[in-house]
């Protein structure tokens, strides 16, 4: 079983991930609280005393970093440097997801094909009106 070192995408802490999980696009976070914090917009730059007063996640990440005795987590070597070769990572599509307009189940992010066609038709119709005067002359 091959493992690789990565930095957590949310707090920046070094983590060990199975290579198979990395190839699937998994193993980006050290725990579920970091995954939830990342979805809310938290990043390694947010792990400081100021954010620790406002966010439970930042407080946890800051206390873990202080307990380790470092000001900033060290950057781990890239996967290519660790393995000596490039590794292909499959993109993650959270499917089935919902269409942003109608809510119908779609395979992949974005719009269903009906809403996409309607959006393209509307954009094509309004394309000729760019810069057209809308005010009436008095």
Model pLDDT for residues 18-73, shown as the tens digit of each residue: 999 998 888 899 998 888 888 888 888 788 888 888 888 889 889 999 999 988 88
Instruction: Say if residue 44 is in the same domain as residue 105.
Output: no
pLDDT band of 16, cuts 50, 70, 90: very high
Instruction: Give how many domains the chain has, as a whole number.
Output: 2
pLDDT band of 136, cuts 50, 70, 90: low
Model pLDDT for residues 110-134, shown as the tens digit of each residue: 778 888 888 888 777 766 666 666 6
Cα(76)–Cα(19) distance, rounded to whole angstroms? 15
pTM (two decimals): 0.60
Omega of the bond leading into 96 within 30 degrees of 0 (cis): yes
Torsion of CA 42, 45, 47, 50, to 10 degrees: -100
Instruction: Say if residue 116 is in the same domain as residue 73.
Output: no
Domain annotation covers residue 124: yes
Cα(27)–Cα(24) distance, rounded to whole angstroms? 9
Q: Which domain holds residue 35?
A: 3-83
Axis crossing angle, helix 56-68 with helix 32-39, rounded to the nearest 10: 130
Structure tokens at 63: 């206390």
């Amino acid at each position: 079983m091959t493992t690789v070192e990565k930095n957590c995408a949310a707090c920046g802490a070094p983590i060990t991930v199975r290579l198979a999980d990395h190839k699937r696009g998994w193993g980006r976070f050290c725990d579920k609280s970091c995954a939830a914090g990342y979805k809310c917009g938290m990043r390694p730059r947010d792990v400081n005393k100021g954010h620790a007063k406002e966010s439970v996640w930042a407080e946890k990440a800051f206390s873990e970093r202080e307990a380790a005795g470092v000001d900033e987590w060290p950057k781990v070597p890239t996967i290519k440097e660790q393995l000596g070769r490039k590794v292909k990572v499959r993109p993650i599509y959270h499917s089935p997801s919902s269409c942003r307009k109608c809510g119908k189940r779609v395979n992949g992010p974005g719009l269903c094909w009906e809403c996409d066609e309607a959006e393209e038709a509307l954009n094509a119709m309004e394309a000729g009106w760019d810069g057209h005067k809308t005010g009436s002359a008095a």
